[in-house]
Chains A and B, each alone.
Chain A
Amino acid sequence: MNELLGKIPTILMLVSPILITATGGMICERSGVVNIALEGLMVFGAFAAATVHFFLEPVMGAQSIWIALTAGALFGMLFSLIHAFAAISLNADQTVSGTGINLLATGVTIFLSQILFRMDRTRQFRLGMMPGPGGIYPTAFIALAVIALTWFMLYKRPFGLRLRACGENPHAAASVGVNVRNMRYTAVLLSGILAGLAGGCLVLTTNTQFNSTTVNGHGFIALAVVSFGRWKPLGITGASLLFGTALAFSIIATDFTLLRSLPTEIFNIMPYAITLLTLVIFSGKDYAPRSAGKPYEKGAS
Chain B
Amino acid sequence: MTSDGALSVLVVLLGFLCGTILIVIVGRNPAGMYKAILQVLTGYNLDRNRFYIRYVGEWLAQSMPFILCGLSMGFAARCGLFNIGGEGQYVVGLTVAQFVAILGPQIPGVHWFAALLLAVLAGAFWGAIVGFLKAKYQVSEVVATIMLNYIALYASRILVMRIPGTNTYRTPSFPETALLRSSVLEKLTGGSMLNLGIIFVFLAVLVYWFIMEKTRTGFALRATGFNKEAARASGIPVIRSIILSMAIAGAFAGLAGGIVALGSFRFGRVLAGNDGYGFAGIAVALVGNSTAFGTMLSGLLFGMLASAQPLMESNRIPKEITFIIQGLVVVFIAVRTGIRIFIRYSQRKKVVQEVVDHE
- Chain A residues close to B by CB (< 8 Å): 34, 36, 82, 85-87, 89-93, 95-97, 99-108, 110-111, 114-115, 120, 213, 216-217, 220, 223-224, 227, 263, 265-266, 268-269, 272-273, 275-276, 279-280, 283, 286, 295, 297
B143: contacting residue among A91, A227, A263, CB under 8 A: A227
- Which residues 110-157 of B have a CB within 8 angstroms of A? 133, 137-140, 142-144, 146-148, 150-151, 154-155, 157
List 23 A–B pairs whose Cβ atoms lie within 8 Å, in order of A's numbering. A85-B335, A86-B334, A86-B335, A90-B339, A91-B342, A97-B334, A99-B84, A100-B331, A100-B333, A102-B327, A103-B279, A103-B323, A111-B323, A111-B324, A114-B320, A227-B140, A263-B157, A272-B148, A275-B147, A279-B133, A279-B139, A279-B144, A283-B138
Please give the distance in Å from B28's CB to the nearest CB on chain A. 9
B205 at the interface (CB under 8 A from A): no
In the complex, the chain A residue whose C-beta lies closest to that of B316 is A114
**Interface residues, chain B, CB within 8 Å of chain A?**
22, 26, 82, 84, 133, 137-140, 142-144, 146-148, 150-151, 154-155, 157-158, 161, 273, 279-280, 282-283, 286, 318, 320-335, 337-339, 341-342, 345
The answer to whether residues A279 and B150 also contact, given A100-B330, A103-B323, A111-B324 and a CB cut-off of 8 A, is no
Contact A273 B282 (CB under 8 A): no
Can you add 4 more A-B contacts, CB < 8 Å, to A110-B318, A273-B151? A100-B331, A115-B26, A275-B143, A297-B345
State in angstroms the CA–CA spacing of A89 and B337 once bound together. 12
In whole angstroms, how far apart are the Cα atoms of A105 and B157 in the complex? 26
Closest 4 CB pairs of A and B: A90-B338, A107-B323, A104-B327, A100-B330
Interface centre among A36, A85, A87, A99 (most CB of B within 10 A): A99
Are B338 and A279 neighbours in the complex by a CB distance under 8 Å? Answer: no
* A107 near B324: Cβ-Cβ < 8 Å: yes
Q: Which residues of B contact A276 (CB under 8 A)?
A: 133, 139, 144, 147-148, 151
Which chain A residue shows the least CB distance to B279?
A103
Contact A265 B155 (CB under 8 A): yes
- Distance in angstroms between the alpha carbons of A220 and B154 in the assembled complex: 15
What residues of chain B lie closer than 8 Å to A279, measured between beta carbons? 133, 137, 139-140, 143-144
- For B317, the closest partner residue in chain A by CB is A114
A138 to B230, CA, bound (A): 55
What's the least CB distance linking A117 to chain B, in Å? 11
**CB-based contact B146/A223 at 8 Å:** yes
- Find chain A residues with CB under 8 A from B328 CB: 100, 104
Q: How far is the CA of A106 from the CA of B273 in the complex (A)?
A: 14
Nearest CB of B to A225, in Å: 11
Given A86-B338, A275-B143: A107 and B273 interface contact (C-beta under 8 Å):
no
The secondary-structure label for the interface of chain B is: helix
A216/B273 contact (C-beta < 8 A), A114-B318, A276-B147 known: yes
Q: Is there an interface contact between A280 and B139, defined as CB atoms closer than 8 Å?
A: yes
Contact B318 A97, beta carbon cutoff 8 Å: no
Which residue of B143, B282, B322, B331 contacts A86 across the interface (Cβ within 8 Å)? B331
Point out which of A95, A103, A269, A297 has the most chain B C-beta atoms below 10 A from its C-beta: A103
Q: Is the interface of A mostly helix, strand, loop or mixed?
A: helix
In the bound complex, residues from chain B placing their C-beta under 8 Å from that of A36 are 84, 142, 146
> A93: which B residues are within 8 A, CB to CB?
334, 337
If the complex has contacts A103-B326, A110-B320, A111-B324, are A220 and B335 also in contact, measured as CB distance less than 8 A? no
Residue of A nearest to B325 (CB): A107
- Contact call A104/B324, Cβ cutoff below 8 A: yes
Distance of A210 from chain B, by nearest CB (Å): 14
Most A CB contacts (10 A, CB to CB) among B84, B147, B332 go to B147
Given contacts A90-B339, A95-B82, A110-B323, contact A100 B334 (CB under 8 A): yes
Residues of B within 8 A of A101 (CB): 327, 331
Q: Which residues of chain A come closer than 8 Å to B155, judged between CB atoms? A: 265, 269
- Indicate if the CB atoms of B157 and A265 lie closer than 8 Å: yes
Across the interface, which residues of A come within 8 angstroms of B283, CB to CB?
A: 99, 103
Q: Which residues of the other chain, B, contact A87 by a CB distance below 8 angstroms?
A: 334
User: Can you name the residue of chain B whose Cβ is closest to the Cβ of A250?
Assistant: B154
Alpha-carbon separation in the docked complex, A258 to B335 (Å): 52
Cβ–Cβ < 8 Å partners of B325 in chain A: 107
Residues of A within 8 A of B142 (CB): 34, 36, 95
A97 & B324 in contact (Cβ 8 Å cutoff): no
Task: Output the nearest chain A residue to B146 by Cβ-Cβ distance.
Answer: A220
Q: Which residue of chain A is the closest to B318 with respect to CB atoms?
A: A114
CB of A241, distance to nearest CB on chain B (Å): 19
User: Within the complex, which residue of A97, A120, A283 is in contact with B331, where a contact is CB–CB below 8 Å?
Assistant: A97
> With A95-B82, A111-B318, A283-B137 given, is the CB distance from A272 to B150 under 8 Å?
yes
Within the complex, the shortest CB–CB distance from B92 to chain A, in Å, comes to 14
CA distance A93 to B77 in the complex (A): 13
Task: Select B158's contact among A95, A216, A227, A263, beta carbons within 8 Å.
Answer: A263
When C-beta atoms are compared, the residue in chain B nearest to A277 turns out to be B147
In the complex formed, the residue of B with least CB distance to A220 is B146
Tell whether, in the assembled complex, residue B154 and residue A265 are in contact, meaning their CB atoms are under 8 Å apart: yes
Once bound together, how far apart are the Cα atoms of A229 and B357, in whole Å? Answer: 53
A265 CB to nearest chain B CB (Å): 4
Asked if residues A268 and B154 are in contact (CB atoms below 8 Å), the reply is yes
A229 to chain B minimum Cβ distance, whole angstroms, is 13
**CB distance A92 to B324 under 8 Å?**
no
**Given the complex, which residues of A lie within 8 Å of B140, measured CB to CB?**
227, 279
Contacts of A272 in B (CB 8 A): 146-148, 150-151
Known A86-B335, A276-B148, A279-B139: A115·B323 in contact at CB below 8 Å = no
B327 and A91 contact, CB distance less than 8 A = no
Least distance between A252 CB and chain B CB atoms (Å): 17
Contacts of A283 in B (CB 8 A): 137-139
